[in-house]
Amino acid sequence: MKRVDVNQESEKKLFFHNYARLPIAVTHGEGVWLVSDDGTRYLDMISGIGVNALGYGDQRLVDAISSQAAKLIHASNLFMMEPQFELAAKLLSLSGLSKVFFANSGTEAIEAAIKIARKWAGQSGDQEKKEVLSLSNCFHGRTYGALSLTAKAQYSDGFDPLLPGTGMIAFNDIADLEAQVSEDTAAVFIEVVQGEGGIHRVSQPFIDRLKELREQYNFLIIADEIQSGCGRTGTFFSYTQVNADPDLVCLAKPLGGGLPLSAVIGSEKVADVLSYGNHGTTFGGNPVACAAGLAMIKAIEEDNLMEHAQEIGAFINHEVQKLAAKHPQILEIRQYGLMVGIMVDKEAKPYVGKALEKHVLINATSVNVIRLLPPLTISLEEAQHCITTLDEIFTEESAAAETSC
């Protein structure tokens, strides 16, 4: 017998009011479709906020999770566990880096990276070298360190004091970069493609100058690949597309195949920074999550999903440009693989509700950007369905505006 109703009324009673949930209760998924408790199928262009790279119900993932769960669900990092070792080895081979630390969420990976950076900088003997910088418009998470690096005041308002020794460089502004970094800089965090900030890619000249300044001042470049990583932008890491050569890389979201898992991957430079007891987590590198992550990466490789993401992304780009020619509401499309931002001439949130009515799940970010992060498995027909729906929404909006004139 059901003891609680899964509806908005119960939600208000049960939970802190920190989420603006959509008014549907989802029960399961099939491919790129999420199904609600009344049987309605929704085309999912959000994929659990960029998590479900394989969509829903991939049998390889289900098998990996169930067979590992039957063997061992948790033992902690007091022990050695094969799935964790295999996933670490896979991440090192994909990145060419030296060491891995596993945690459970994106923000925890950022926290670990901040700690590694500060400890590494302290080893230089310069006790002033503690400053950790990020780029304006960025998002790195919601725990105190990550929040202190996150640009938008909307996330940090009311939570001060934040972490001292943090600062922000204007996005893609080389003069500001030169003005901000110094001998005191321990690390600069970058999202090669800013997700929450509205799908903006860091420029090549900015990255080139950042690397020159790293030589001059000896700081770390830390790539936050939490949203852009694991194949979403068409390569496993987005930093390879701008040759950012990071010292630390943070991964999360799809890494655990839908289970909570994140990783910090570090270069030889930082390989010996952490020592016994310096940092840790009870659950980090959970064997079921690692087995899921391995299955997810294997499927991405086997099914050529990175190439697929490039192809479908290019298709969406092309089609949205066609829409832009007939709908003045569309100002710009920014697309890197299947990280897509459609900039509109007004607040984007109402489009989320309109798409929901048409059973398509989209997301709004950065005030006026419709963000699409579909599963990497999305077919051309499904992508076309999303485009057709957006076309209908913009057409109806223009028609309504004309009627009201």
Ligand X SMILES: Cc1ncc(COP(=O)(O)O)c(C=O)c1O
Residue ranges in contact with ligand X by CB under 6 A: 49, 105-107, 110, 139-141, 191, 195-196, 224, 226-227, 252
If the CB atoms of residues 155 and 315 are measured against ligand X, the closer one turns out to be: 155
If the CB atoms of residues 262 and 389 are measured against ligand X, the closer one turns out to be: 262
First to last CA, the chain: 53
- 249: part of which helix (H) or strand (E)? strand 248-251
> Cβ of residue 109: shortest distance to ligand X, in angstroms?
8
> Who contacts 244 (Cβ-Cβ below 8 Å, separation ≥6)?
190, 192, 202, 207, 210, 211, 221, 223
> Cβ of residue 337: shortest distance to ligand X, in angstroms?
15
> Cβ of residue 108: shortest distance to ligand X, in angstroms?
7
Closest chain position to ligand X (CB)? 106
> Cβ of residue 196: shortest distance to ligand X, in angstroms?
5
Say which amino acid occupies 305.
L
> Cβ of residue 379: shortest distance to ligand X, in angstroms?
25
Q: Are 259 and 286 in contact (CB under 8 A)?
A: yes
The CA distances from residue 183 to 127, 219, 306, 365, in Å, are: 11, 8, 39, 35
If the CB atoms of residues 140 and 385 are measured against ligand X, the closer one turns out to be: 140
3-state secondary structure of 41: strand
If the CB atoms of residues 146 and 342 are measured against ligand X, the closer one turns out to be: 146
Q: Are 256 and 292 in contact (CB under 8 A)?
A: yes
Report d(CA 223, CA 220) in Å as an integer.
Answer: 10
> Cβ of residue 164: shortest distance to ligand X, in angstroms?
21
> Cβ of residue 260: shortest distance to ligand X, in angstroms?
8
If the CB atoms of residues 105 and 389 are measured against ligand X, the closer one turns out to be: 105
Report d(CA 102, CA 106) in Å as an integer.
Answer: 10
If the CB atoms of residues 106 and 341 are measured against ligand X, the closer one turns out to be: 106
Report d(CA 281, CA 93) in Å as an integer.
Answer: 24
> Who contacts 405 (Cβ-Cβ below 8 Å, separation ≥6)?
none
If the CB atoms of residues 31 and 254 are measured against ligand X, the closer one turns out to be: 254
